[in-house]
Amino acid sequence: MTAQTPTSAVTANTTRAGARGSGGVVLWTSAGFLVTVVLAAVFAPLVAPADPNAIDFGDIWAPPGADHWLGTDQMGRDLLSRVVHGARESLLGPLLLLLLASVLGVAMGTLAAWRRGWVDVLLARVTDVMYAFPGLLFVVLVIAVFGSGMTTAVVALGLAFTPIIAKFTRSVALAECAKPYIDAYRVQGVSGLVICLRYLIPNMAPALLGYLVVLFGEGLMSLATLSFLGFGAQPPSSEWGLMVQEGQSALIQGVLWPALVPGAAIALVVVAFNIVGVRVADRLNSRR
């Protein structure tokens, strides 16, 4: 994950400086775009003009037009319908992997900050080993062992994101534990588990939530990359990374739409998420 970590740090800091100066237009456009995408994903069968898996070999690689607004792919399937339906898998995947990573990561990070000692050392060692694998290589190792597929990819990425979230949680929890109210509960004889679950974690939630929104774009990017390599979603899924891979063969023949449409969808959603995520993180942090 090391390759990702500096990138996300850069994204966080630079857009923050940029967003403040440029005002709210970019922010609200991005937020509106994301809401539209999420709504389209939820109501995909109503929004999509055609069946995403309806094959028509008489109409392959059709250019965008009245019949097919964004054209058709190598099997004559309607690209707009596929992108709209693909939004479900493309957005649900990162959500699930972040859910897994944050449950594990918050538990590990809180435990490390609360107990210190060997738990803390263990977390540091695990993180070290994870960071020894540049980029997605740890995930690639897991996929090499358990085979390709969306479930494996989501679980592997969830595990890869865990130490990142754990490290962040640890630093927030250390600052929070130093505050007097924690000692106050402790003096009253409240058990450590209750303090962590009822007071410590809820108080860290805003900071964690902001961080998770920023990580969402990263998760979407990584998952789409895995699908592009053939390790994630499998045909006939219309996950966006897989769609780009399937459209790639048409590029040489001058047919650009099948790869560019899902590619643009990924890029736009990731950019929008980074813009909104950074602002949300900013807002939540300043409130603390």
Partner 1 sequence: MTTHVLRRLGGMLLTLAVSSALIFGAMYAAPGDPVSFLVGDPENVTPERIAAVRAEYHLDQPLLVQYWLWLGGAVTGDLGTSFQYNAAVSDLILTRLPTTVSLVAYAAVLFTVLGIALGALSAVRRGRRTDAAVTAGTTLAASVPSFVLAIALISLFGVRLGWFPVTGLGEGFLSRVHHLTLPAIALATGALAIISRVTRQTMVEQFDLEHVAASRASGIAERHVVRRHVLRNSLGPVVTMCGLVTASMLSGTVVIESAFGLSGIGALLVDAINNLDFPVVQAVLLCMVVAYMGVTTLIDLVHPLLDPRVRIEGNRV
Using the minimum distance from each CB to partner 1, give the nearer residue, 141 or 194.
Answer: 141
The answer to whether 10 contacts partner 1 (rule: CB under 8 A) is: yes
Q: Tell me which amino acid residue 209 is.
A: L
Q: In a 3-state reduction of DSSP, which class is residue 72?
A: strand
Query: Binding pattern to partner 1, positions 203-232, x when CB under 8 A?
Result: --------------x---x--xx--xxxx-
Q: Are 244 and 262 in contact (CB under 8 A)?
A: yes
The answer to whether 28 contacts partner 1 (rule: CB under 8 A) is: no
Rounded CA separation 8/214 (Å): 8
CB of 190 to partner 1, least distance (A): 38
Q: Are 198 and 141 in contact (CB under 8 A)?
A: no
CB of 193 to partner 1, least distance (A): 31
Using the minimum distance from each CB to partner 1, give the nearer residue, 5 or 36.
Answer: 5
CB of 278 to partner 1, least distance (A): 9
Rounded CA separation 244/79 (Å): 11
The single residue among 11, 102, 152, 237 that binds partner 1, judged by CB under 8 A, is: 11
Rounded CA separation 134/125 (Å): 16
How many CA atoms are closer than 13 Å to the CA of 269, on its beta-carbon side? 31
The single residue among 32, 39, 103, 128 that binds partner 1, judged by CB under 8 A, is: 128
Q: Tell me which amino acid residue 247 is.
A: G
- C-alpha distances in Å from residue 48, one per residue of 51, 57, 133, 246: 7, 20, 40, 20
The single residue among 39, 129, 175, 184 that binds partner 1, judged by CB under 8 A, is: 129
Q: Are 90 and 224 in contact (CB under 8 A)?
A: yes
The answer to whether 163 contacts partner 1 (rule: CB under 8 A) is: no
The residues that touch partner 1, with contacts defined as CB under 8 A, are 2-3, 6-7, 10-11, 13-15, 17-18, 21-22, 125, 128-129, 132-137, 140-148, 217, 221, 224-225, 228-231, 241, 244, 247-248, 251-252, 254, 256, 259-260, 263-264, 266-267, 270-271, 274
